[in-house]
Amino acid sequence: MSMSKPVMKEILQRAKNILDEYLNDQHLRKTAERYSVLEELYYLPQDEHIDVETLFLRMRNKEYTISRATVYNSIDLLVECGLVVKHNFKDKNALYEPALTYEHHDHLVCNNCLKIKEFLDPSIEDIKKRVGKSLGSDIKNHSLVFYGDCTIENCENLKRKEVVKG
């Protein structure tokens, strides 16, 4: 499910305003590179997760003049101010996705091909509420990752992995 360009522009402008405010509050410089990293992340396809190295290479391929260190530092800053969500999946580098386009979801990671699938199950939200109530906590968020072996017949991701191995 992708967003229309006007909606995406509106979300990106909101993200830029949040970043402006954060940089002002922290007495940090408003650099073009920080805003470029923000834009690249917010224009990712909605269900894509990206690592910093891949983001850096994409930006270099688009002829941005930006250093690897600047991309890493910018990502950290965007996580700190709540504009980017960081995920740590088993056997993977940290992966990131935009926070303002983020509807809470959980993840399934294939042990074989490492493909990440997002899903939303209302019963998990019910469990979160029950656990919070029984433990006397108003749980604000959670992270749930299932790891499993692909059982999809003729899975294209498994074929790609075999080609790489073979």
Q: State the Cα–Cα distance between residues 44 and 55, nearest whole angstrom.
A: 10
Annotated binding site for Zn(2+): which residue ranges?
110, 113, 150, 155
Specify whether the CB–CB gap between 87 and 75 falls below 8 A: no
- Largest Cα separation within the chain, whole Å, is 54
Q: State the Cα–Cα distance between residues 100 and 94, nearest whole angstrom.
A: 19
Annotated binding site for Fe cation: which residue ranges?
104, 106, 125, 142
Side chain identity, residue 21: E
Annotated binding site: which residue ranges?
104, 106, 110, 113, 125, 142, 150, 155
